[in-house]
Structure 1
Amino acid sequence: MLQVCPNGARDQSACPSVPISPAELAAAVREAVAAGATDVHLHPKTPEGADTLDPDCVAAAVTAVREAVPGVPVGVTTGAWAMPDPRRRVKLIRSWPVLPDHASVNWHEEGAEAVAEALLERGVGIEAGIFSGTRAASRFLASPLVDCVLRVLAEVTDTAPRTALAAARLLLGELGDALRAPILLHAEDGAAWPVFGLAAELGLDARIGLEDVLELPDGTPATTNAELVRAAHAILSASH
């Protein structure tokens, strides 16, 4: 599975092509799916470009993207930076009028299990975000929800190309072989492409997009999410 992450917490000061509005997200994801993406993880934004869990903003983003790519699963973030209070986060999720297919829950964040339970109550699949360098892996493996998630997002926080691969392997080791859910392995910035190559080598799910990296494998700036997806798809095809 190749997921596109078109925007993340970035704004257009980082890259003019980062999609902010629902219309921009829809256009970017349509192009990315045409280039080979099969799943979507997006960050709904306020009109000013800040990440948000606001019901209207989530509904607008999910609806626009879903209409642009019918049949392709669409997920959103529930990151604490969008709403630091976990109780308020749960309340917002319970008020969403339009539900995504899945949502990421970062297991190192306060209130992760309550957020995940709110999503499960509403029939939304959970992507368990397990960040390297945190206690997230052990907390997740001890959670009663460990077998209730759609997939695990193994997120390598080390952005240095020379050390990120070791961090990725360590994180995978912490998750262990008994994990039933599929693993999506990814990293950011300078580590994004090396770790993507490792995911391809190991046959794991992977993702790419302007949330994770602003450059192509050869170091040239990426102009669109679709350009990143095409490069990622070529790596996956070569690994098979």
Structure 2
Amino acid sequence: MLQVCLNGVRTAADSAAVPLTPSALADAARQAVAAGAQEVHVHPKTPCGEDSLSPRVVGPVLEAIRAAVDVPVGVTTGAWAESDAGRRAERIASWTVLPDYASVNWHEPGADTVAAALLERGVGIEAGLWSGTDAAARFARSPFAPRVLRILAEVIGPEGESARHTAHELLAELTAAGHDRPVLLHGADGGAWPVLRLAGELGLDTRIGLEDTLLLPDGAPAPDNARLIRAARALYDAGRGPNGRSPATAPQQTGQ
């Protein structure tokens, strides 16, 4: 599965290509799905460009995207949008339009509180486990671990070959924890393309979009999310074996 992450915490100050408004996000989602994206991850934003969990912000974004595409749509619940976990849970309880899933960062305080609020509303959970944090250990102890939709294995910080090495370490942590959930593996910025290639080699779900990188594999600025998806599709498929799967997809290596 290839997911498009449309904008993340980025704003127009990062790139004019970053979609911010409901209409721009819907258009970006439509183009990305046409290019091969199978799911959409979005950060709903206020008119000032700040991430928000307010129902008045989340609802219009979801409605606009769903009018443009017929694929699962997920949102962030990151602490940068609302620092207090209890307040995040209250926001989730107030949503009038529900996403198909939402990401919960397990290194953030109150992850279980946020997860419980999402499950109460029937919203699937992507368990965000960042490299360089104790998220994997926290997740392994969580009573909600068996109930998440998938694990979002996120390589944050390292670049190039270091990102691939860190990804292998993170996947090994997950395997040691004995989870049975699907894994979506991705990197960020200088690690985005090396980790995406690795995901292709391992046959894991992955994602790409202007949230994760502003650059195409050749280093040129990405004009939009659709161009990133097309490049990702080509790189991912190139890393798979002649039967469409890599030998590295064996369950003992991926934890699936």
TM-score (norm 2): 0.92
Contact 2:199 2:236 in 1 (8 A): no
Match of residue 106 from structure 1: 105
Name the structure 2 match of 1:54.
Answer: 54
What residue in structure 2 maps to residue 213 of structure 1? 213
1:19-38 mapped onto 2 (5 Å cutoff): 19-38=19-38
How far does the alpha carbon of each residue in 1:87-131 deviate from its partner, in whole angstroms, 9 at most, with x for none? 111000000000000000000001100100000000000000000
User: In the TM superposition, what whole-angstrom CA distance separates every residue of 1:140-180 from its partner, at most 9, and x where no partner exists?
Assistant: 01111111000100000123213111111100011116321
AA aligned opposite 1:149: V
> How far is 1:237 from its partner?
2.3
Equivalences for residues 160-175 of structure 1 within 5 A = 160-175=159-174
Cα distance in 1, alignment partners of residues 204 and 38 from structure 2: 14
Alignment partner, residue 154 of structure 1 = 153
Q: Which residue of 1 aligns with 2:184?
A: 184
> Equivalents in 1 of 2:231, 2:34: separation in Å?
13
- Kindly provide the amino acid, as one letter, of the partner of residue 162 in structure 1: E
Identity in percent: 59
Question: Any stretches of 5+ residues in structure 1 without a counterpart?
Answer: none
Aligned to 1:176, the other structure's residue is in SS state helix
Matching of residues 62-211 of structure 1 within 5 Å: 62-70=62-70, 72-176=71-175, 178-211=178-211
If the length of structure 1 is used for normalisation, what is the TM-score? Answer: 0.98
SS in 2 for 1:232: helix
Hey, what does 1:226 align to over in structure 2?
226
Query: How many residue pairs are counted as aligned between the two chains?
Result: 239
Structure 1 residue ranges, 4+ long, deviating more than 3 angstroms after superposition: none
- Deviations 1:31-85, CA, capped at 9 Å, x for gaps: 0000000001100000111000011100011111011002x00000000000001
**1:180-222, CA deviations, whole angstroms, 9 ceiling, x for partnerless residues?**
1110001110110000000010000000000000111111110
Equivalent-residue separation in structure 2 for 1:232 and 1:159 (angstroms)? 19
Partner of 1:4: 4
Residues in 1 aligned to 2:158 and 2:143: alpha-carbon distance in whole angstroms: 31
Separation in 2, partners of 1:157, 1:76: 19
Q: Which runs of 5+ in 2 are unaligned?
A: 245-256
Q: Residue 218 of structure 2: SS of its match in structure 1?
A: coil
The yes-or-no answer on 1:236 pairing with 2:236 is: yes
State the 1:236 CA deviation: 2.1
Aligned mates of 2:22, 2:82 — CA distance in 1:
20
